Structure 1
C-alpha cells in the first residue's frame, strides 16, 4: 500500500508539473497571439490537446520511474498499456488540431467577403475537403496504431494481409457508391468545376453552393431551402455555373407584343430606365426582335449586372417597367388576335397600315442603334461575338485589330 501511495503521489506531482509548464506556454502564446494569428490559433485550438498529451507523458514517466519500488507488476503493465493507448489518442488529437490551425491560417489569407473572390472560393473549397479527409485519415491511423499495441492483433496480422485481396474486393463492391462520391469530392475540390459560394442552377433550382463534403454538396436555394445532392452528381450530370470565371452575368427578359410595337422607342425607354437604376453594371443593354411568328413579335431585352442576385432584381424591374410602358404609352402594341376582311380604311386596314408605316419611317422608327445588337456595335459586343464565333472568324478579327 505504501508503494501504491508513493506511485500515486509521484503521478499527481508529475501531472501538476506538466500542467504548470503547459499553462506557462499557453500564456506566452496568448500574449504573442495579439500580434500573430498563428500563435492565436495555436493557443485557441491546441491548448487542451497539448495539456492532455503533456499530462499523459508525465504520468507515464512517473509510473515507470516508480516501478522499482515494488508492487504488482501486472497492475503496472495494465496501467502503462492504458496510458499508452490514451497517449496515442491524445497525440492524434494534437496532430489534428495543429493541422487545423495550419489550414485556418491558410484560409485567413484568402477572404471571401470581397467582390473578386474566385481564388478565395477555390482555396476554401480545397481546404474544407482536405480538412475532412485529414481528420478521417488520422482517425483510421490512430485506430490502427492502438490495435497494434495488443499482441493478439499483431499475431493475426499475417492472416489479415493474406486475405486482404478478398476483403478489398468485397469492400469495393459494398462501398462502390461511397468511394465514387469520395473521388468525386476530390475532383470537385481540385478540378475547379464548382466551388464554395458559386451560383449554380441544378435540377431546375437556382442557388448558391453552401457546403461541399466528400459525400454530398449542399445548395442554398434562393428561397432558403437546401438541396442536398451527392458529389457524384456534379461529375456525371450537366449543371449551370454562373460564377465559374466571374460573378458578372447577363440576363434576358422576353415579351410577346403586337407587330405595331415601336421597337426603337421601346429600346430607348429600356436604356433610359436601366441608367436610372443602381443594379446595372453598364456592360450590356440591348433590345432585339428574336422571333416574329404566330401573329406576335417576340422582343428580348438583354441586361447585365454585377452578380446573380442583382441580375434577378434588375430583370424583374425591367419586365415590370416595360409592361407598364407598353400598356400606358403604346396600348396598340398589346398582344391581340385580329382578322382583316377586304380593303378596310381603318387604322389597321391595308391603307391605314401603309400610312402608319410611312409615318413611322419618317419618325426614324426603323433606325439602328448600338442597343439593337448583342454581338457587334460595342467593344463588349465585339468581344462576345469573337468568343462565340468560329476560329477563322476570331483570326480575321485579330488581323483587323
Structure 2
C-alpha cells in the first residue's frame, strides 16, 4: 500500500514539476516578446519587429517542447511507454526547432527586403534584382532545412537506421527513377534559379507575355505570377521564361518611350502641331522632360498623312497615361484650330 501511494505521489510530482516548468518557459518567452516589442528596442533594433511577428508562436512551441523533454521523467517500470514518449518528444522538438529556424531566417531577410522595397531612382533596378535573389534563396534554404529535419526525424527510428546501408546502396537507382519522374519539376527549379541569378527577370519588372501587359508580382522556383493591367493574374511555369521570348520593359531601366499616331489630311500644318505638342508636354507632369519629337512617318494607302508624336516617361504606366493625354489634346487641337486638316476622302470626277 505504501509502495502504491509512493508511486502515485511520484507521478503527481512529475506532472506538477512539468506544469511549473512549462509555465515558466512560456512566461520567459512572453517576457522576451514584450521586451522585443517595446518601443525602445524597436527604435534601436530593426530586427525586433520581424522577429516578434514571425517567431512568437514557433518560440512558444519550441520552449514548451524543449522544457517538457528536459523535465518530464516517464515511468521507468514500463519501457515501451518510456521509449514512445521520448520518441514523441524528440520528433516534436525537431519539428519545432525547424519551424523556429525557418521563421528566424525569414525575419532576418524581411528586414533586408523591406529596405530594398523602399529604394527608388537609379538604384531601383539593382534593388529589385537582389530582392528576387533573396526571395528564391530563402525558399530553397527553407526546403533544404525541411528535408534535413525530415531525415533527422526518420533516423530517430531504429528500423530506419538499420535500413540506412541498404538505402544508400540503392540511392543511385532511386535517384535516376526520381529524376525521370520529376523531370519537369526539376527543370522549373533550375529555371527559377537561372532567372534570378542571370538578372533576366526581377520582381516588379514590366513584361509583355502572351500579348498581355503586366508586372511580375511573384517569382518562385516553380511558377511566375504576372499581375495584369486589369488586376487579373496570369500564372506561368518558370520554364516558360527560359524557352519562350518575352518583352521586358524594365530590363535596364524603367524609363520608356511612348508614341501617338495621327492620320490627317495633307493640309495639316506640321510646324504648328509640333509646337503645340511641345507646349502640351511641357505642361504635363507625366513627361520626364527628356525626349520628344513629331515626325511625318508615312503616307497611307487612303491618301492621308501619318504623324508620329514621340515622348518619354519615367515608367510604362506613366507613358500610357501620357500617350492618352497627348492623343486627346492633339485631336482637340486639330479639330478646333485646323478643321480643314481632318481626314478627308477625295474623289476625282472623270
Q: TM-score, normalised by structure 1?
A: 0.79
The one of 231, 241, 244 equivalent to 1:234 is 241
Q: Which residue of 1 aligns with 2:63?
A: 54
Q: How far apart are residue 98 of structure 1 and its match? A: 1.3
Q: Which residue of 2 aligns with 1:376?
A: none
Q: Is 2:272 aligned against 1:265? A: yes
Q: Deviations over 1:139-180 (max 9, x none)?
A: 221111101111111122222222222222222222121111
Matches of 2:26 and 2:16 in 1, distance apart?
15
Would the aligned equivalents of 1:4 and 1:71 in 2 still touch at CA under 8 Å?
no
Q: Which residue of 2 aligns with 1:207?
A: 214
Q: Any runs of at least 4 consecutive aligned residues in structure 1 with deviations exceeding 4 A, and if so which?
A: 339-342
Q: Is 2:92 aligned against 1:89? A: no
Matches of 2:263 and 2:199 in 1, distance apart?
39
Q: Secondary structure at the match of 1:166?
A: helix
Matches of 1:181 and 1:259 in 2, distance apart?
56
Would the aligned equivalents of 1:248 and 1:305 in 2 still touch at CA under 8 Å?
yes
Q: Which runs of 5+ in 2 are unaligned?
A: 1-6
Matches of 1:321 and 1:29 in 2, distance apart?
57
Matches of 2:28 and 2:250 in 1, distance apart?
51
Q: Which residue of 1 aligns with 2:308?
A: 300
Would the aligned equivalents of 2:76 and 2:82 in 1 still touch at CA under 8 Å?
no
Matches of 2:298 and 2:277 in 1, distance apart?
19
Q: Which residue of 2 aligns with 1:387?
A: none
Query: Alignment length, in residue pairs?
Result: 339
Matches of 2:43 and 2:274 in 1, distance apart?
58
Q: CA RMSD in A?
A: 2.1
Q: Secondary structure at the match of 1:139?
A: helix
Q: Is 2:83 aligned against 1:77? A: yes
Q: How far apart are residue 10 of structure 1 and its match? A: 2.6
Of 265-274 and 16-25, deviating more is 16-25
Would the aligned equivalents of 1:122 and 1:192 in 2 still touch at CA under 8 Å?
yes
Matches of 1:290 and 1:277 in 2, distance apart?
24
Trace 1:59-138 onto structure 2 (pairs within 5 A).
59-63=68-72, 66=73, 70-112=76-118, 114-116=120-122, 117-138=124-145
Q: Deviations over 1:204-251 (max 9, x none)?
A: 111111111111111111111111111111122221111222222111
Q: Which residue of 1 aligns with 2:184?
A: 177
Would the aligned equivalents of 2:98 and 2:146 in 1 still touch at CA under 8 Å?
yes
Q: Which residue of 2 aligns with 1:255?
A: 262
Q: Which residue of 2 aligns with 1:379?
A: none
Q: TM-score, normalised by structure 2?
A: 0.89
| Structure number with higher relative contact order (C-alpha < 8 Å, ≥ 6 residues apart) | 2
Q: Which residue of 2 aligns with 1:326?
A: 334
Matches of 2:36 and 2:104 in 1, distance apart?
14
